[in-house]
Amino acid sequence: MDNVRKLAKEEGVFPSSDFMPGKSAIPVSGKVYDSDELCSGINAVLKGWWTEGIFTENFIKKFSSFLNVKHVIPVNSGSSANLLAFAALTSPLLGDKRIKKSDEVLTVAACFPTTVNPIIFYDCIPVFMDINIPDYNVNVELLEEAITKKTRAVFLAHTLGNPFNVKKVKELCKKHGLWLVEDCCDALGSKYGNDFAGSFGDVSTFSFYPAHHITAGEGGAVVTNNDLLNKIILSLRDWGRDCWCKTGHDNTCNKRFNQKHGSLPFGYDHKYVYSHAGFNLKWTDMQAGIACAQMDKLSDFIRKRNHNFKRLFKGLSKFGKYLILPEKEENSVPSWFGFIITVKDGVDRTELTKFLEKHKIGTRLLFAGNVTKQPYFKGVKHVVHKNLVNTDKVMNNSFWIGVYPGITDEMIDYVIEVFGEFFKKVQ
Ligand SMILES: Cc1ncc(COP(=O)(O)O)c(C=O)c1O
């Protein structure tokens, strides 16, 4: 592996760290890695196994012990994780607790679309509630009012790493017998009270796309403490099969040719018995290899993200006349994904983001803004609870900039300086 490290250096694989204000890009996010990831990924290639194997097993151990959760099911993306999490709740194996067509699911419209899409795919009705500014999470006062006889679940993301009010949401789910799905795609390492985001929901999801806290190129995970849900998620992920043999194993159940399933003939090979309408959403062991090396850096990544967030917050506080800065949820320690800003009346968001981009400072909107206004949502059955006033405000006036670990103090100081230049212009 010494050759890999040497080659990576010679080939200039690692980006240069020299920052030139106004010339070097300050992206909103990006991969942070070194030769550890390259060696671990290549080791997985050299093993010659490639589908789930020892690197995946190692990753599962690392991820479950970090989050303190019982089951981790790696998948090929955060969107797949969301799809599986929701699909699992529709499984016939859940009996009366199963989510069915036309059931309602409480969520928010200021979202990433693939948090909401699984609800639509299963012909359920997303019920959209408004969010708060400046924490950008659901307004929990609206939750109980929005519950009807048809409500079966709450499906919410921790917006940009800022945990939602877990206490209130959990209380209501318990009181009304609702499932809770936590989308933690942007919140790996965020804490509410003493526990990590992802350990509160019946099912929770993560993304390992390069923008996220750790990356595997593509990838994600579903986590749960519920044994039955784990079994269902594995079945759905792996073609819908009833068999639970690991790749490369046969007859784990010891009854491979001795069972009756559905209307199939007795003894039909268990390997080809399907108890769900499933998918194939698995990842590869090469992704696991890369993700294992990233896990060893996770604590440092979280520290650096939060350091960057604080430095930006301090520096931008002087522009309070123009900007609303983000606030964390009480009782939480976010692992920030991005630094979200809402411009106050009199400031044009597009002018500001164009100015920042001209100075090579990357900006992003809060994903779909108000998802009900997206082209694909035309004709999609949904309910808006009361109104989405703040959601629309975010769609029109908010954006976020980066805090990822590749951003240095020097870059942040430059970002703050550029904001200053913009506000000098608008005065
Ligand atoms: C909140 C949230 N959920 C889900 C996803 C989807 O993750 P992926 O890109 O891995 O499919 C994203 C993507 O960034 C996200 O921000």
Query: What mean pLDDT do residues 171-186 have?
Result: 98
Determine the average pLDDT of the residues in 52-56.
97
Question: Among residues of the chain, what percentage have pLDDT more than 90?
Answer: 94
Instruction: Evaluate whether 220 touches 206 at the Cβ level (below 8 Å).
Output: yes
Q: Is the pLDDT of residue 7 over 90?
A: no
Token output for 374: 């997206």
pLDDT of amino acid 427: 64
220 lines ligand 1 (CB under 6 A): yes
Report the nearest atom of ligand 1 relative to the CA of 114. 4
How many residues are there in the chain? 427
Q: E strand or H helix at 408, and its extent? A: none
Structure-token match 């942070």, residue found: 32
137-174 per-position pLDDT tens digit = 999 999 999 999 999 999 999 999 999 999 999 999 99
Burial letters for 144-155: b for 16+ Cβ neighbours within 10 Å, e otherwise?
eebbeeebbbbb
> For residue 2, what pLDDT band results from cuts at 50, 70 and 90?
confident
Selected catalytic residue, list 71, 158, 176, 212: 212
| Residues 6 or more apart in contact with residue 331 via CB below 8 angstroms | 167, 192, 193
Helix (H, G, I), strand (E, B) or coil at 306: helix
H or E stretch at 14: none
Choose which residue among 205, 207, 404 to substitute to test ligand 1 binding: the one with the highest number of ligand atoms within 8 A of its C-beta.
207
Between β-strands 125-129 and 104-108, what pairing exists: parallel, antiparallel or unpaired?
parallel
pLDDT of residue 426: 75
Q: What is the mean pLDDT of residues 210-227?
A: 98
C-alpha to C-alpha distance for 306 and 399, rounded to whole angstroms: 18
How many angstroms separate the alpha carbon of residue 157 from the centre of ligand 1?
10
Helix or strand holding residue 398 (H, E)? strand 398-402
Q: How confident is the model at residue 6 (pLDDT cuts 50, 70, 90)?
A: confident
14 versus 268: the higher-pLDDT residue is 268
- Give the residue-averaged pLDDT of 97-111: 98
Q: Do the Cβ atoms of 72 and 223 come closer than 8 Å? A: yes
In percent, the amount of the chain with pLDDT more than 70 equals 100
Residue 112 beta carbon below 6 angstroms from any ligand 1 atom: yes
Q: How confident is the model at residue 42 (pLDDT cuts 50, 70, 90)?
A: very high
**Entry pTM:** 0.98
Whether 66 is in the pocket of ligand 1, judged by its Cβ within 6 Å, is no
281 and 84 in contact (C-beta within 8 Å)? yes
Query: Is the peptide bond prior to 134 cis by the omega test (within 30 degrees of 0)?
Result: yes
All structural domains of the chain, each given as residue ranges with its CATH number in brackets, are 19-240+275-427 (3.40.640.10)
Of the listed ranges 11-20, 39-48, 137-146, 289-298, the one predicted with least confidence: 11-20
Q: Is the CB of 114 under 6 A from ligand 1?
A: yes
Q: Which of 186, 213, 279 to mutate to test the pocket of ligand 1 (most atoms within 8 A of CB)?
A: 186
Distance 304 CA to ligand 1 centre (A): 21
Instruction: Write out pLDDT tens, residues 357-410.
Output: 999 999 999 999 999 999 999 999 999 999 999 999 999 999 999 999 999 999
Active site residue 176: no
What pLDDT score was predicted for residue 291?
Answer: 98
